[in-house]
Structure 1
């Protein structure tokens, strides 16, 4: 039996090496597909107008969101995302903008920082999880590298609004969940999150519905942001 032990260990090492090689290949192919998919444009002829309604596309390196005026001729977001849903001390601030994004419920609710992301939660999101809206309220947000201004025509912004409205459940059908700070909350939302339908895909699909030029498949934040100058 002792003589067989080294042979068994060698076979196990070979199997582990092959499994690692296949995993590395799968990850590499996924990364390549994501780069190619995000580089193929939708609405390729779209050009940013000289005048219109300014929104922002913001990113934290992993997740993207769409920042919009709280009140405009096209939409008053206070009806869908009332400041009264925030903790009492934050409800009365003079908010001017609202940031909206979509993602996986367990990741949103249980990972206040990426260091809190557990393997089980990550695998659950990849396989498939329920959707959740993340809504943050801002006061005069400043543009920057991670919050890029995107100007839309009024009719384009109206289409963007209509697309987001399809994700907003009426108050009686949704739960409000405490956010990461006192100026953000989560809401129940339709849709299933999985590897082919990520938070960043939601952002690019929403922009594409408005007619904006963006990539076809954007599982990563960089695939969205590279279309916003």
Structure 2
């Protein structure tokens, strides 16, 4: 009897593993080889994916946002770049409004907040923008960072999607500010899109990378660790050492 039960458990686990592999392959996005990786010797824009354990963001150079805003009429990015004019880079994250604004650290995460954000339909979203100067590792000492070099065309597409995520008030061309952020010099802004189990912060990051031509797997990106695993697995992008040697 115990042997039959063990066999059933083994079959169930094997079936679940096969379903997971099949779903991973089925949802995989293979990137755009014309955009990424950049051609040897071609100009690139350096961005960083930052995993805080319970949340993820993307660090982008402010000068590159200014360039895209001026050349392509991206009003939200132009406003953000002006608002954070004293900084070299910006960390930008997207997420559920209630969860993001209340959970400043992993220690403040509660099951009730997580369940509401994941399973309640129609959750409004926000963007969190943080000013960063110098090496991002100096600011995010307890986080995992992955550097991604994007082609000019790839970064332009990422910038388009990033600009479109900022919600504008009716009849306005600038993002709607919601108040101070969680750490450093930071602000919250109203965002487009709703947050739920199948569209979390890491999926948003994966969508930005996909726009830039980088291969991603949305299923793996459900968790920050899965997003970083995917970047390492298919793109050879690894976590940076915290001592600043790479």
Same fold (TM over 0.5): yes
What's 2:128 paired with? Answer: 134
What's 1:48 paired with? Answer: 37
Task: Tell me how far apart the structure 1 counterparts of residues 59 and 119 of structure 2 sit (CA, whole Å).
Answer: 29
Higher CA-based Rg: 1
C-alpha RMSD of matched pairs (Å): 3.0
CA contact (8 A) 1:125 1:194 kept: yes
What's 1:103 paired with? Answer: 95
What's 1:222 paired with? Answer: 225
| Cα shift readout 1:198-218 (whole Å, capped 9, x = no counterpart) | 111111011112211121321
Name the stretch that deviates more: 130-139 or 46-55.
46-55
What's 2:193 paired with? Answer: 191
Cα separation, partners in 2 of 1:185 and 1:33, compared to 1, 3 Å: farther
Cα separation, partners in 2 of 1:33 and 1:101, compared to 1, 3 Å: farther
Task: Tell me how far apart the structure 2 counterparts of residues 126 and 34 of structure 1 sit (CA, whole Å).
Answer: 23
3-state SS of paired residue (1:159)? helix
Task: Tell me how far apart the structure 1 counterparts of residues 49 and 95 of structure 2 sit (CA, whole Å).
Answer: 16
Task: Tell me how far apart the structure 1 counterparts of residues 81 and 53 of structure 2 sit (CA, whole Å).
Answer: 28
Cα separation, partners in 2 of 1:193 and 1:156, compared to 1, 3 Å: same
Shift of 1:33: 4.0
What's 2:115 paired with? Answer: 123
Q: How does 1:161-180 map to 2 (within 5 A)?
A: 161-170=159-168, 172=172, 174-180=176-182
Cα separation, partners in 2 of 1:127 and 1:146, compared to 1, 3 Å: same
Q: TM-score, normalised by structure 2?
A: 0.68
Cα separation, partners in 2 of 1:44 and 1:70, compared to 1, 3 Å: closer
Q: Where in structure 1 are there 5+ consecutive unaligned residues?
A: 1-24, 85-90
| Cα shift readout 1:182-224 (whole Å, capped 9, x = no counterpart) | 4111111111111111111111011112211121321100221
1:200 aligns with 2:189: no
What's 1:10 paired with? Answer: none
**Count of matched residue pairs:** 194
1:71 aligns with 2:63: yes
Q: Where in structure 2 are there 5+ consecutive unaligned residues?
A: 1-11, 71-75, 232-236, 239-246
Shift of 1:157: 0.3
1:154 aligns with 2:152: yes
